[in-house]
Amino acid sequence: MEKIKEHTEPQKHQPKVKEEVVIAIKGLKKSFGNKHVLKDINLELKRGENLVILGRSGTGKSVTIECIVGLLKPDKGSLKVFGNEVVDMNDKELKELRMKIGFLFQSGALYDSMTIRENLEFPLTRILKLKDQKQIDKKVKEALDNVGLLEAIDKMPSDLSGGMRKRAGLARTLVVNPEIMLYDEPTTGLDPITSREISELILTIQKKNKTSSIIITHDMECARIAADRVLVMENGEYIAEGTFDELHQSKNKTVSAYFNDIL
């Protein structure tokens, strides 16, 4: 397959990002049995940047971010987060790293047996080891308020709609103030209005918390709203890189297929 590299030129509306690299991936490979999911992944995420990864299902997008948090171990290659090699980390180091990374799962992954309040208290008491109930309450309410879900604080996850569950999952991730956010298809299964709200929320989080994010999505509207830079992935490799507008003009058939419906 023809590889194209779109040159990224800063645009006027693009937020100014610092050049410090927070995630650096070189030559990452991962196979399951005989299936080579990641063939040769090279990626850099800069501080304060929103990087969107586009690609068809099964091309290895989720596997990439699962490698970043150590849920999966790559077969080969270098994967550095804040300059530290993730592959070589022991359990303690991995735990410390994970405290700095937020991961929003496709389903929201709220703990079913807990209320929304307890879901948010869980990382505060176990990761940040907070003991003061007033401080915990304040942080929980603040995080829920940021995603517009304060009224659902004492509800069970089963009482919430898909969009609300995703926002609650986002609040749980954000309550510990992560420096890096990894979003696994944050708008999948949501209606267009809620999808837009979530996409705008991602942008707000970037600006407010100064987080660096990798967003995996099929939703072009989400990519248009949230992306500073877009990577297109095909068969375990990146085939194009650029801003949303640059890739929109791409002549590469695979790349342009994603943008066909965008006016």
Partner 1 sequence: MAEETTIPGWKRWLEGIGDQVEFIIKFVRNIFTGGFEWSEFIRQCYEIGYRSIMLVGITSFIMGMVLILQLRPTLVSFGAVSMLPKTLSVSFIREIGPVIIAIICAGKIASSIGAELGSMKVTEQLSAMEVSGANPVQYLVVTRILATTLMVPLLSVLGDAIGLFGGYLALNLRDSMSFSLYFGKIIGALDFSDFLPALVKTIFFGFAIGFVGCYKGFHSNKGTESVGIAANSAVVTASLWIFVIDAIAVQITSLLFYK
Q: Which of 109, 130, 156, 203 binds partner 1 (CB under 8 A)?
A: 109
Smallest separation, CB 61 to partner 1 (Å):
12
Does position 87 interact with partner 1 (CB under 8 A)? The reply is: no
The count of residues interacting with partner 1 (CB under 8 A) is 31
Does position 115 interact with partner 1 (CB under 8 A)? The reply is: no
Structure-block tokens of residue 243: 């801003």
Smallest separation, CB 188 to partner 1 (Å):
13
Does position 176 interact with partner 1 (CB under 8 A)? The reply is: yes
Q: Report the residue number, 34 or 260, with the smaller CB distance to partner 1.
A: 34
CA angle at 171 for the pair 169 and 175, rounded to the nearest 5°:
125
Inter-residue contact 25 to 78 (CB < 8 Å)? yes
Does position 98 interact with partner 1 (CB under 8 A)? The reply is: yes
Q: Which of 2, 19, 112, 132 binds partner 1 (CB under 8 A)?
A: 112
Give the single-character DSSP code of 89: -
Question: Could you give phi then psi for residue 67, rounded to 5 degrees?
Answer: -70, -35
In order of 11, 229, 244, the CA distances from 130 in angstroms are 42, 36, 41
Q: Binding to partner 1 (CB under 8 A): which residues in 137-166?
A: none
Does position 260 interact with partner 1 (CB under 8 A)? The reply is: no
| Residue 16, helix vs strand vs coil | coil
Q: Binding to partner 1 (CB under 8 A): which residues in 32-71?
A: 32-35, 37, 58, 63, 69, 71
Q: Report the residue number, 104 or 227, with the smaller CB distance to partner 1.
A: 104
Does position 122 interact with partner 1 (CB under 8 A)? The reply is: yes
Measured distance CA(52)–CA(35) in Å, rounded: 24
Structure-block tokens of residue 247: 């890739």
Residues contacting 134, CB < 8 A, separation 6+: none
Smallest separation, CB 198 to partner 1 (Å):
17
**Candidate ranges 40-48, 100-108, 136-144, 240-248; the one touching partner 1 (CB under 8 A):** 100-108
Measured distance CA(184)–CA(208) in Å, rounded: 21
Amino acid at 76: K
Parallel, antiparallel or unpaired: strands 180-184 and 101-104: parallel
Measured distance CA(46)–CA(187) in Å, rounded: 23
Amino acid at 17: V
Q: Which of 127, 130, 150, 203 binds partner 1 (CB under 8 A)?
A: 127
Q: Report the residue number, 33 or 83, with the smaller CB distance to partner 1.
A: 33
By the criterion CB under 8 A, which residues form the site for partner 1? 32-35, 37, 58, 63, 69, 71, 95-96, 98-99, 101, 103, 105-107, 109-113, 122-123, 126-127, 169, 172-173, 176
